[in-house]
Amino acid sequence: MISLKNWQGIAAVIGVDWGDSGKGRLVDDLAVRAHIIARYNGGANTGHTVKNKYGKFAFHIMPSGIFNKKATCLVGRGVAIDLESLIEDEFEQLKKAKVSWKNLKVDEQASLVMPWHKMRDGIREELRGGGKIGTTRRGVGPAYADRVERSGLRVKDLYDGKFAEKLKEELEFQNKIYDLTLPYKEVLAKYTNYAKIIKPLVARTILILKEAQKARKNILFEGAQAYFLDIDFGTYPCVTSSNTGVLGIWRSFEIYPTDINHVIGITKAYMTRVGKGPMPTKIEGSQREVIIEKGGEIGTTSGRIRDPGWLDLVLVKAACGANKVNRLALTKIDILSGFKNIKICVGYKINGKAVDYVSGDAAYLSWCKPVYETLPGWQEDISQIRDFKKLPKNAQNYIRKIEKFVGVPIEFISVGPQRGEVIYV
């Protein structure tokens, strides 16, 4: 297989953990070869950080490949589109950096996240009491719920001449049911303005994508969240509301999973989880503080602390199997320099008995106790290394151990947050 540095065909970046693994940076690195970069799931709950020669960016809806001027960036119908985030935050970030987003296309059939969705997200969380999900309160769950209920507004509704009417009906309904006081005229004015701004970007993204596929262009899918936050296969109910794996790509673009040449699973060299939900390998004590501090493990979207854990190979292997991942990307291994020993989870036990079943269920995972192997760490700063063979032997062994257990080659190892701070294997 050709190196990921020279990838061609169709590639997809999919988190095989609990998110925040560096998908934004990986997409920014790989996007230099892409003709199309496409976001297929999630909404403004996503926080993808990109650091490159243009500056530092935190993207929520915007595909992280927007810096490639020759490429077209697509936001598919499976994305819950928050125009407030896209226009008032993300366009502004790009404007400040003098980066154009003219190459962005937003699907006309994508659902809109409206102000009531964000309010409902907050109200529901407050009322959940002890059973909170710890959502980002970006209205993503309620917007998807309305789509499934066939009542939500879509991008195309902004332009069919009946938007004012549809908005009034929907807003009055939401105010009544959820006891809200959203002012119709203000919301109408705001969304009429947003509609004007994004009109040139609205498109039938499936057609663009299918044409690119036919012409054998390089297509890069950017997943949001990660497999264990998937609505169907994650640790329900502590999950997000979309399909985060290959299924999400099909739901947004009708690209069949077997058409994807490079299914790239991405995880950090350790793991983090933000919000609620079980994490068998959660780290307590001083090592927790070291990782949070050194790794800057504070949420891009929510500003909350992410709980660190040792790398859980049981989960990584399960996610890779389910999505037919054929290449792995390992990020933030530079953060592990300085540890005397590093633990890695190679199995689970429930009530002392080994189990090999990974269930998309929060309660089940909370019963699982990790079985660890302890590997010797390395002390050297590795952030300047660009050649696998120059890594300390113990770092090489750690990487090889992961590959061997999961059965998928690690081909992208990042040792810093900037574009290019990468070892291609």
* DSSP calls for 191-203: HHHHHHHHGGGEE
Q: Which stretch binds ligand IMO (CB under 6 A): 41-49, 100-108, 197-205, 323-331?
A: 41-49
84 is a site residue for Mg ion (CB under 5 A): no
- Residues numbered 287-306 forming contacts with ligand GDP, rule: CB under 6 A: 296, 300
- Residues numbered 117-146 forming contacts with ligand IMO, rule: CB under 6 A: 133-136, 138, 140-141
Q: Is the dihedral of CA 24, 26, 30, 32 positive or negative?
A: positive
Q: Which stretch binds ligand IMO (CB under 6 A): 167-175, 178-186, 224-232, 372-380?
A: 224-232
- Residues numbered 384-423 forming contacts with ligand GDP, rule: CB under 6 A: 414-417
Q: Is 60 annotated as catalytic? A: no
User: Side chain identity at 6, as an amino acid letter?
Assistant: N
Q: Least distance (Å) from ligand IMO to the CB of residue 68? A: 20
Cα separation, 262 vs 195, whole angstroms = 36
Closest to ligand IMO by CB, 225 vs 394, is: 225
222 is a site residue for ligand GDP (CB under 6 A): no
- Residues numbered 143-162 forming contacts with ligand IMO, rule: CB under 6 A: none
Let me know: does 118 contact 140? Beta carbons within 8 Å: no
Which residue, 167, 135, 132, 365, is CA-closest to 242? 135
Q: Is 20 annotated as catalytic? A: yes
Query: Which segments of 47-148 does DSSP mark as H helices, in order?
Result: 83, 91-96, 115-127, 140-148
Which residue, 266, 198, 204, 227, is CA-closest to 413? 266
38 is a site residue for ligand IMO (CB under 6 A): no
Catalytic residue, from 17, 29, 48, 107: name it: 48
Parallel/antiparallel/unpaired status of strands 353-355 and 219-222 = unpaired
Query: Which segments of 199-245 does DSSP mark as H helices, in order?
Result: 205-214
> Of residues 21, 111, 135, 218, which one binds ligand GDP by CB under 6 A?
21
Whether the bond into 237 is cis, omega within 30 of 0: yes
- Residues numbered 43-102 forming contacts with ligand GDP, rule: CB under 6 A: 47-49, 51
> Of residues 45, 235, 267, 331, which one binds ligand IMO by CB under 6 A?
45
Which active-site residues does the annotation give?
Answer: 20, 48
- Binding residues vs Mg ion (CB under 5 A): 20, 47, 300
